[in-house]
Every structure is written in C-alpha cells, then in structure tokens.
Amino acid sequence: MTPDSPVNSSAKPESILGGRVRNFLIAIVAIALSVALVLGLRTETTSASLSKLGESSTPLEVAIANGKPSLVEFYADWCTVCQKMAPDMAELEQQYADKLNFVMLNVDNTKWLPEMLKYRVDGIPHFVFLGKDGEAIAQAIGDQPRTVMASNLEALLTNSPLPYAQTSGKVSKFSAPVTPTASQDDPRSHGSQVVN
C-alpha cells in the first residue's frame, strides 16, 4: 500500500465543515417548514367551536333588556347536530351581530333549567326567536339550513312573520332534569325537596 491510499486517509477539513453546514441548513429549513405548516393549518381552520360561540354570545339578561331582537340557541358540546351547525351559526353571527343578539345556552348547565322548561326544550339544537321586547315569536328545532336561518333572521329584523316558523330538523335528544341537582348539604337547597 502506498501512503496515498484512500483506505487510511482522513477527509479534508474543508469537506467536513461543508457537510456540517449543509446538514445545519437542511435542519433549519425543515424546522422552518414545519412551523409554517403548523401555523398555516391553524389559521386555515375556519370551523367555529361551540365553546367559542358560547363565550362570545350575548348574555340572556342583556339580550332581553337591550331592545334588539334575539336568537337563543339551546345547545350542548356533545350534540353532533349543534357541532355541524356551528360554522353556519358563526357566519350568521358575524353577519347580523350589530342588529341581533345571539344567545347560547348550554343545556348541561342547570342554571338554564327554567328557560329549558319555559321553551319546552326536548331536542337540541333548539332555537327561540325573541322580538325586541324579549317575547318568544317562534321556535325551530334541529338542523336548520343556513338559508332558512338567514330568512328567519331577516324577518325577525323587519318584525315580519317568520317564513320558517316552527320548523323541525334532525335533533340530538335531550331530557331536561325535572329539578336542578343540588346537594342536601347546601343551605340554599332547603326548598328543593318541596314538590308543588
């Protein structure tokens, strides 16, 4: 073997440095592309979640008192029909937010039991259209096409009869509890055992 044999020769320092720089650049580009992909996917999702709609909704007390017509939706996070309608409801809310109150009441919260009983909520989503005075004008239950909801909201704004009043679509079954669940140890529950 000759001393110039490639078997025992070490690589030139310039080629090692070049390889490391190239690998470093590839790693940086891969990280940048991954971050861009993740951020791009987050901003591309336009689906509205029920919890976000619930958080941004007008409180019922405000909606009844502010002199604007209102759409009240009884929903639950587990309701597949409610989830399906959420993007359409978000679009309608953006379109009519300055003219109408959008109220979201979660049926899993026993705070809304009096309203559930008042409007006889037995399937969700359950929509109640309230006039400017806070009185119920019409109700719709179940999956409603966006065009039907938009037509009803337009009529509600002009104080006209709702074209699709009392409509029913696919619902998620729901049974409201007869009485709110309360602990016997709660001093405020002393009258909850009384049945009229």
* Helix (H/G/I), strand (E/B), else coil: 137: strand
* Nearest-angstrom CA–CA distance, 186 and 189: 5
* Helix (H/G/I), strand (E/B), else coil: 139: strand
> Given 76, 79, 90, 155, which residue is catalytic?
79
71 alpha-carbon distance from chain centroid: 15
Q: Catalytic: 82?
A: yes
Q: Catalytic: 37?
A: no
> Given 81, 82, 121, 140, which residue is catalytic?
82
* Nearest-angstrom CA–CA distance, 63 and 101: 6
* Helix (H/G/I), strand (E/B), else coil: 144: coil
* Nearest-angstrom CA–CA distance, 6 and 3: 9
Is there a contact between 105 and 115 (Cβ–Cβ < 8 Å)? yes
Please give the positions annotated as active site.
Answer: 79, 82
